[in-house]
Structure 1
Amino acid sequence: MFEAVDVVEGDGGPGTVLKLTFKTGSGFFYGKEKFTKVDHANMVKESEMVEGGILDIGFSLYRLRVEIKENPKDGSGSSCLLKLTIEYEVKEEFAANASLVTTEPLLGIMSVANEHLLKSS
């Protein structure tokens, strides 16, 4: 999905800005994402697209919230549950683009991360 992810400013906490360079053919060139909430204790991260990406096709807000929760069905503590929430606002004349909002690419990234973690443990 991404060709590169670069830290523009910040240290990973709130206010951190990432430049996401999308792979050729994705329909986007780049986007900048700003972390608006990083709560390590509750394992919650929120970010908003602040430039480029989906904002270039009529969205005025694109906010992603990632929450990691303990899996109540796993007494060993070796698995967790991931909750993804996307909030967005799209300008009326671009309403058809709302169908582009999906968690599928994010789930793909999480799946790759999961495979990496399983191999390295």
Structure 2
Amino acid sequence: MGVFTTEGEQVTTVAPAILYKAIVLDFSNIFPKALPNLVKSVEIIEGDGGPGTIKKFTFAQGGTVKHKVDLIGVDNYVYHYTIIEGNVLSEAVELEKVSYEYKLVPKADGGGIIKFRRQYYTKGDAQLTQEFLKASQETSDGFLRALEDYLLANPHYN
């Protein structure tokens, strides 16, 4: 098994407290509304929302992804989870799992910085291409922009 790590930052115009609430605490309501062409539903299939919880994302075009919550840090806007099952693990390259670590940091202008780290665990000696990593980042950027757009269009969400 190989492990490939990527790290980076994304700037957001949404306050970290609001974005964190939407992504971590209110995911089942927000994702289908903010990403209706992509996400059909999100549900907890095991657990109470805290560490160890398994969430199932059902996509509008078919397919599902399950991820396990590893860490929730409400006070410091930290969220870690691991994709443990789903078609995303077998597309393009054989992946055993993908772990995500996020920390939202407030900025003086009211927005924030999302610091992230992703670890891709490949099966066997599979290698990840730059094209795969770029596409993964573009998907993440698209999710963030759609969530931002939804939250900015719905200022009373919080």
TM-score for the superposition, normalised by structure 1: 0.78
- Residue 143 of structure 2: SS of its match in structure 1? helix
> Partner residue of 2:48?
11
1:36 paired to 2:36: no
Q: Secondary structure at the match of 1:103?
A: helix
Gap change, CA 1:91 and 1:62, over 3 Å in 2: same
Q: How far apart are residue 12 of structure 1 and its match?
A: 2.1
Residues 43-90 of structure 1: CA deviation (Å, up to 9, x unaligned): 11010011223333521230011210011xx2x5x2111122211121
Which ranges of structure 1 fall in alignment gaps of 5 or more residues?
none
Q: Could you list the runs of 5+ residues in structure 2 that have no partner in the other structure?
A: 1-37
Post-superposition shift, 1:96?
4.8
Higher relative contact order (CA closer than 8 Å, sequence separation 6+):
2
2:57–2:66 contact (8 Å) kept in structure 1: yes
The C-alpha deviation readout for 1:24-61, integer Å capped at 9, x for no partner, is 2xxx7212100000011111101001122333352123
What is the count of residue pairs matched by the alignment?
114
Percent identity (aligned): 23
RMSD of aligned alpha carbons? 2.3
Displacement, 1:118?
1.6
Matched, 1:68 2:100: no
TM-score w.r.t. length of structure 2: 0.62
More helix by share: 2
Task: Tell me, yes or no, if structure 1 residue 114 matches structure 2 residue 148.
Answer: yes
The residue number in structure 2 matching 1:86 is 118
